[in-house]
């Protein structure tokens, strides 16, 4: 629990799941349903996709496909973290819960903290870290759901705004190279212009364009 309290990403998660709780309330899901989805989906973007797709009238199958596609991004994180925990005595069943807990926040913290943890204790450490973060998110979801039910509409909308702001700040915090910063800045700059085209996929177009330009700059710098 000390590791949970020591990372700024816990605050980012708390703000994110405040927004998810408020979003679930505004789309008329029950508190029990959104708490179960927080624990079982365990990925903020995937949970937002699940809530918005089902809330817009999509079928369960369509929502499941959308969530599954969004979860593909987590596969490389799982593959990179699990070898850090294996010992000759480790069995596959020992890694099931660890695999479930590995999302962006836990991956970042595992890369940062696991080298300082004895290998034979890393699975237990990750279990504790994952459960601690999950409890934080369940508490934030409950609080966000309750606040959205009892606050004026303007403040309820402000809580919903916490989710994109949390992801934006988290992305900015993790920018390490020029290409990362360039992709983020260009994406933010291009979106208002692309939205004037009313394509319906404005975020996708601006994101792909900004990412491609940033990659091109990175590739050009590496060749020099």
* Each residue's pLDDT tens digit, 20-33: 888 888 888 999 99
Region 175-193 average pLDDT: 86
Examine the pLDDT at 178 and tell me if it is beyond 90.
no
Do residue 116 and residue 189 come from a single domain? no
87 & 7 share domain? yes
Please indicate, yes or no, whether residues 81 and 23 belong to a single structural domain of this protein. yes
Q: Please provide the average confidence, as pLDDT, over all residues in the chain.
A: 83
- Please check whether residues 76 and 184 belong to one and the same domain: no
Residues 43, 105: one domain?
A: yes
| pLDDT reading at 109 higher than 90 | no
Tell me: do 143 and 207 sit in the same domain. Answer: no
Q: Is the pTM of this model over 0.75?
A: no
pLDDT band at 134 (very low <50, low <70, confident <90, very high): very high
Please give the tally of structural domains in the chain. Answer: 2
3-state secondary structure the chain: CHHHHHCCHHHHHHHHHHHHHHHHHHCCCCHHHHHHHHHHHCCHHHHHHHHHHHHCCCCHHHHHHHHHHHHHHHHHHHHHHHHHCCCCCCCHHHHHHHHHHCCHHHHHHHHHHHHHCCHHHHHHHHHHHHHHHHHHHHHHHHHHHHHHHHCCHHHHHHHHHHHHHHHHHHHHHCCCCHHHHHHHHHHHHHHHHHHCCCCCCHHHHHHHHHHHHHHHHHHHHHHC
Domain limits at 190?
176-224
**196 plus 124 within the same structural domain:** no
Question: Are residue 54 and residue 26 in the same domain, yes or no?
Answer: yes
Residue 123 has pLDDT above 80, yes or no: yes
| Whether 144 contacts 48, CB under 8 Å | no
Higher pLDDT, 72 or 163: 72
79 and 99 belong to one structural domain: yes
Q: Let me know whether 194 and 218 are in one domain.
A: yes
4 falls in which pLDDT band (50, 70, 90)? Answer: low
Q: How far is CA 22 from CA 15, 38, 112, 173, 185, in A?
A: 11, 13, 31, 25, 28
Indicate whether 222 and 126 sit together in one domain. no
Query: Does 151 share its domain with 163?
Result: yes
Residue 8: per-residue pLDDT: 62
């Amino acid at each position: 629990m000390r590791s949970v309290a020591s990372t700024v990403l816990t605050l980012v998660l708390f703000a994110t799941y405040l927004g998810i709780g408020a979003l679930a309330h505004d789309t008329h899901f029950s508190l029990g349903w959104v708490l179960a989805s927080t624990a079982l989906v365990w990925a903020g973007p995937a949970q937002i996709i699940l809530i918005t797709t089902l809330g817009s009238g999509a079928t369960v199958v369509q929502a499941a496909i959308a969530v599954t596609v969004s979860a593909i991004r987590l596969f490389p994180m799982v593959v990179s973290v699990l070898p850090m925990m294996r010992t000759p005595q480790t069995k596959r069943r020992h890694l099931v819960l660890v695999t479930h807990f590995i999302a962006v926040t836990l991956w970042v913290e595992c890369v940062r903290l696991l080298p300082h943890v004895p290998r034979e204790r890393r699975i237990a450490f990750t279990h504790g870290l994952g459960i601690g973060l999950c409890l934080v998110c369940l508490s934030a979801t409950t609080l966000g759901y309750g606040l959205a039910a009892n606050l004026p509409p303007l403040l309820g909308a402000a809580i919903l705004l916490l989710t994109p702001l949390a992801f934006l700040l988290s992305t900015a915090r993790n920018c390490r190279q020029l290409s990362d910063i360039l992709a983020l800045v260009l994406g933010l700059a291009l979106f208002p212009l692309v939205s004037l085209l009313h394509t319906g996929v404005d975020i996708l177009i601006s994101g792909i364009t900004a990412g491609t330009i940033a990659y091109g700059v990175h590739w050009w710098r590496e060749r020099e």
